[in-house]
Each structure stands twice: as C-alpha cells, then as structure tokens.
Amino acid sequence: MKKLTIILFGAFIVLSFFDSANAATSKVTWTNYDKYTDIRSGNESRKHFRERIFYNFEQHFAKLAKKLPEDQVWKIDVTNVDLAGDTNAGGIDRLRIVKDIYFPRMKFTYQLLNSNGSEVSTAEVSLKNMSFMIGSRLRYRHDSLGYEKDMIDDWFFETFQEHLVEQE
C-alpha cells in the first residue's frame, strides 16, 4: 500500500509539471498593502487574513494565466484592494457585512511578456463592480473572494480574448 501511494504521488507531481509547462505563469506583487482601502478581517488576525487573501488572489491569477499562450509571463502589481462588504460593524465581534453599497474594487498594473521578454501588453487597471449583487451568475458562489474573482474574470476575458489559448 505504501509503494502504491508513493507511485501515485510521483505520478501526480509529474502530471502537474507537464500541465504547467504548457501555460503562461503569473507573478503577483503587493505594493504598499498596508495602505489598501479594505483588506481588514473580522475577528481573524490581520496578518493571517491578509496572507490568506493574497494567496487566494495569487492562485486565481495563476489559474487565469494558464489560459494564455505558453512561455508568457503575466506580471501583476496590485496597488489597492477594497473587498466586497465592510467590517465596520459595532460590538466586540467584527464581521464582514456584504451589502450592495460596499462593492469590490481593485487597482493594479500588469505586463504580459512573451518568451523572449518582449512586452505583449501592459496597462494600469482600475476595476469595480457596483452591481456585484445583481443577478445570479456568480461563478464562485461558494468560494472565498467570489465577488472579486468574478470581477477579475470579466476583465480578464474581455481584455485578453484575442490571446486566449484555452476557452472557459
């Protein structure tokens, strides 16, 4: 049983390597995150919350990068985040309250580089989704940062539609 587990684990690692070898990669930088509009937790420690949020965003950007041509690098420099909802609730327990007046926003710059390092695309981006609670098309209904991921996806597929190699 132990040998089988080792073999399966090794196969998983090898297959994971081949999958990512044929896709673009992403590199995310978090500039001046202590000045972001809203990256506050409810009752969770600030550092742990921030690290979890950043990790989730980095994983999402990496997932999107796989839809771009291989050997490209998508560099993202996040300069502001305002999560959906707000934590200014009174009392001892601070909870994130999501209402339509607290819509998600994000600012970043990006560069898309090809395999030889030449710039394919670059821009400064300011996203916001003021109608994030209208309709039921939320793809990430049960995910952390679902509203933000949905907003990023809309921008990504519109911006890079002519560069995509894997359709959603």
Residue 80 lies in a domain: yes
In a domain, 164, yes or no: no
Please state the domain count of the chain. Answer: 1
Q: What percent of the chain has pLDDT over 90?
A: 49
Q: Residue 4 has which token pair?
A: 């089988």
**Residue 5, in any domain of the structure:** no
pTM to 2 decimal places: 0.80
Kindly tell me the sign of the dihedral angle through the C-alpha atoms of 156, 160, 162, 168.
negative
User: CA–CA separation, 111 vs 105, rounded Å?
Assistant: 20
Segments forming the whole domain that contains residue 112: 24-159
Phi/psi of residue 162, nearest 5 degrees: -85, -10
In a domain, 14, yes or no: no
Calculated CA dihedral for residues 63, 64, 66, 67, nearest 10 degrees: 140
Cα-only R_g, the chain: 18
In a domain, 4, yes or no: no
The tens digit of pLDDT for each residue in 26-68 reads: 999 999 999 998 877 767 778 888 999 999 999 999 999 999 9
* Predicted pLDDT of residue 80: 96
Shortest CA distance to 151 belongs to which of 68, 74, 83, 49?
83
- Asked whether residue 168 is domain-assigned, the answer is no
CA dihedral 131, 136, 137, 141 (to 10 degrees): 100
Integer Cα distance of 106 and 140 in angstroms: 17
